[in-house]
Amino acid sequence: MDHWRLAKFVPTDPVHDRFEPSQIPSHKQGSELVSDLLVVAARGQDGNPGNPLVQNGGGNELEGAGSQKEAAMVGRLIQVAKSAYQYPLLFKQLWHTPLLHAADQEIVYRDLKRFTYRQIKERIGRLASALDKIGVRPGETVGVLDWDSNRFLEAFFAIPMMGAVLQTVNVRLSPEQVAYTINHAGASTLLVNEEFVGLLEGIKPQLAKVKTLVVMSDRSSPQTGSLSFVGEYEDLLAAASPDYDFPDFDENTQATTFYTTGTTGLPKGVYYSHRQLVLHSVCELAFFGGASQQGRFSRDDVYMPITPMFHVHAWGFPWAATLAGAKQVYPGRYDPALLVKLIKTEKVTFTHGVPTILQMLLNAAAAAKTDLAGLKMVIGGSALPKTLAKQALAAGIDIFAGYGMSETGPIAAVAHVDSKDLSGNPDEEVEVRTRAGRAAPLVDLRIVDPDMNDVPHDGKSAGEIVLRSPWLTQGYFDNPESSEQLWAGGYLHTSDVAVVTPDGYVHITDRLKDVIKTGGEWVSSLQIEDLITQCAGVGEAAVIGVRDDRWGERPLGLVVKDATSANAPDDTIIKAHLKVFVDKGIISRYAIPEKILFIDKLPKTSVGKINKVELRKKYGDM
């Protein structure tokens, strides 16, 4: 085995890391070299016990709380046979099983192309060979600007597998933010769908670090504008070898980076290692496969993302679905009619998305008179309204919520319904299906007070969700102050306020910054929004706190009417609707908004969440 393949990876910077030669003599081979590496890892390079809480050799300098106070313990390391293979958790390992039992399984791109797993694996090798030929080296960052496609799936594997870093560029950000994220990540090569050539032309003068461009297109003659490309994606693959020899390297090597949506300032860069994302893939399969009846995902499902692959790795499912050997369908740019068509023709059974995507899907299916029965759909990104969940259940969709965030990779919890609670009564089931759910395997999920003390699991006591798991981002790139705030006390702080029931279901009541403090009480904006959307004739609703001289804050309701409904609610009707829940003791009288404004639409972030920052700027002084 070549010594460079097991060279020690010495991170100094989570996005711009490079492979550096190990100080261990290069004449040592195989397990002898691995044994030396294990000793270095266990004892530290200076011979002292290493700190196991510092990932990537301490490259990000984010240590667990109190770790310096704790005596480092080094137990007995296992004996390693000279011929034993030290199995690093790298993306390439995800291909062993599917190539054995599902080599001829299909991967479909829109209604344009069909591939087998065997062919996609070959194309991954060709992509790596092509990138190597145009100068991409281990540790460099390659950005991808594309819709959900087989090309993106190939990049999901090839770029990290060759030791480079995959940046999934959020093309829905503003041009200035797109330029900022590419520059901040240090991308030197970009793979660009021709649809974004115009975007790139406008910001290219700002991208001093970008040296190489590759154009991607569904057509034989792509539009390139005034930009200079080294080649077209398919041409480069056709001229490249499929036999790229993907090396072994440290499993803590960075695999990906992407950026938060930046509603409160500049987008923040999060980053993940091979080890983190392989463990995420395995646990995702265990989590969804462990469901007894409802919400299962297995190799027999047909998977199609309706969460963009540039957003939190499409929730990790492209890797998990590949590991399972399931049929996969990639729909390109989201067109409602095409999504419904693909669900029907390709027999899609499992997907995920945000509430606005679900509403779009229901409307498109109704227009096309298409039955969605049999589809399983996880909803995340923002709260799943009970009214929308009931609509989905009525359409035959197995609908349920999941919980996670950019910083969590993302899976933290899912609202699977126990078999005993599958009553068939939608009013009962939505109470469980719309919760954040139960924690995933290996996730240490706590609800704590401001002093980091656990609150009672009584379904009433609220606190902040804090997390530990093997796949949480270890910080924000090049932002040490925010990184320390994120990891204060050794747990990742989500800023989500929640309660947890005695049987372990987490229910999010609000974001810390969105809780409304009025009349000496805390009012959940999410709860009021959900109740308002249950009023006939309401399409969408948002609730924010506005300043009030007497009460400190008062809720303001912002409502979009349902254009398809015969009902025309006004503020009096909505307040009377909410008064019913006050009389039942479900909400406080202070929770009824002082004012309710009817607006044409609610502003959304690039990933479909209601943009409350923008709402507060516009309406906060009313």
- Residues with catalytic function: 260, 407, 517, 522
Please check whether residue 190 is in contact with residue 143, taking contact to mean a CB–CB distance below 8 angstroms. yes
CA 611 to the chain's CA centroid: 18
In terms of Cα–Cα distance, which of 353, 361, 393 is closest to 377?
353
How is residue 180 annotated by DSSP?
H
Residue 399 CA to residue 352 CA, distance in Å, equals 9
Residue 18 CA to residue 137 CA, distance in Å, equals 9
CA distances from residue 145 to 148, 477, 562 in whole angstroms, order as listed: 10, 20, 34
How is residue 437 annotated by DSSP?
B
CA 14 to the chain's CA centroid: 19
In terms of Cα–Cα distance, which of 208, 214, 218 is closest to 229?
214
DSSP assignment of 275-344 equals HHHHHHHHHHHHHHHT-SSTT---TTSEE---S-TTSGGGGGHHHHHHHHT-EEEE-BS--HHHHHHHHH
Residue 55 CA to residue 16 CA, distance in Å, equals 16
How many residues does the structure list for the chain?
Answer: 622
CA 279 to the chain's CA centroid: 15
Of the chain, the end-to-end C-alpha distance in Å amounts to 69
Residue 330 CA to residue 342 CA, distance in Å, equals 9
- 135, amino acid identity: G
Residue 303 CA to residue 121 CA, distance in Å, equals 18
In b/e form, how buried is each residue of 321-360, taking b as 16+ CB within 10 angstroms? bbbbbbbbbbbbebebeebbbbbeebebbbbbbbbbbbbb
